[in-house]
Structure 1
Amino acid sequence: MGRWAPGAESRLRLAALELFAERGYEATTVADIAERAGLTARTFFRYFADKREVLFGGNDVLTRRFVAAAEATPAGAPPLAVVTAALDEFAALVGEDREWSSRRRAVIDATPELLERELAKLSSMSTALAGVLRSRGVPELDAALAAETGLAVLRTAFDRWTTDDTTASLTAVMHETLGRLHGLTATG
């Protein structure tokens, strides 16, 4: 088994995802993942604290960049423009690999422990986004509503992007979903 083989982290991620899909998350051990990747369990722990981190590693970076994109919008931008900037950053960071995202989503949806963690991650993103809006003078209720609406758009668009037979990018699906939301508020 190669200890310092190039691409170890990506091989471990792929091996874990394959095993989670084949055996289920609970039935897969770190030793199984390392063996499938042709590495040692010790090498696994150089990259991941535990097997959940294969699926959730990088969440802190994702949330920081999501929030930074919202903060970078021009002063005076409407709340939904701030939310859209954050959604665009999410799509730019996550939208490169539909296959990985689809497979990851299937594993999470099939595992209550992972689904709970995913929902907690999304809730923390909403809270952070609402904080950005409040810091811009948006009233508490409006900030919470805009942030939760943004996360509803994110979840809906991401679900469509990972399950539908679309060739559109995540960004395009996100903007289409936002357009549908705007359409729901139109009168006449």
Structure 2
Amino acid sequence: MPIQANGVPRKLADPFDFGGGHMDPDRAVDPGLVYDLDAREYNKFLNCTQGLSDGCKSYNLNLNLPSITVPDLKGHVILRRTVTNVGPTEATYHLVVEAPAGIDVSVEPSVISFTQGNSRSATFMVTFTTRQRVQGGYTFGSLTWSDGSTRSVRIPVAVRTVIQDFVADTS
């Protein structure tokens, strides 16, 4: 049977309901890549959520979290994330994209290489483009950076397409 979410009305569970899975402690101590944030970024995010700052829409999408949520995709949006290499000095990571249903996802670059003496951080740009003009619920996917051997870093993606801002989503 499909997993049901708790609540009223009952619905099929989605990634917002059932979380990210189990943690493997051995792999967690050597992740390879991390998405770093410092206290200043969290403070700005807090000010944005409380309406105390201007220019927050772009900032909220680009907050360097290890997940991506686009709550109101009308056509296309470009956002960025930065990863920091905490693994071996020499490493190359290839990207695997699992696009949310009805959404085209492109990432530049799709290969990140780290070499000794160069920066330990790399920024990538993610473009989401809707293939359909619908007022919809969230669809889900992921971005996974893999070094081809032991390190694989996956972040979840949630995208909701909208036509008009004032239409309530009841799903």
The question of a shared fold, defined as TM-score above 0.5 by the shorter chain, is answered with: no
Which protein has the bigger strand share? 2
Give the structure-1-normalised TM-score. 0.26
Higher gyration radius (CA): 1
Give the structure-2-normalised TM-score. 0.28
Q: Which has the higher contact order (CA 8 A, sep 6+)?
A: 2
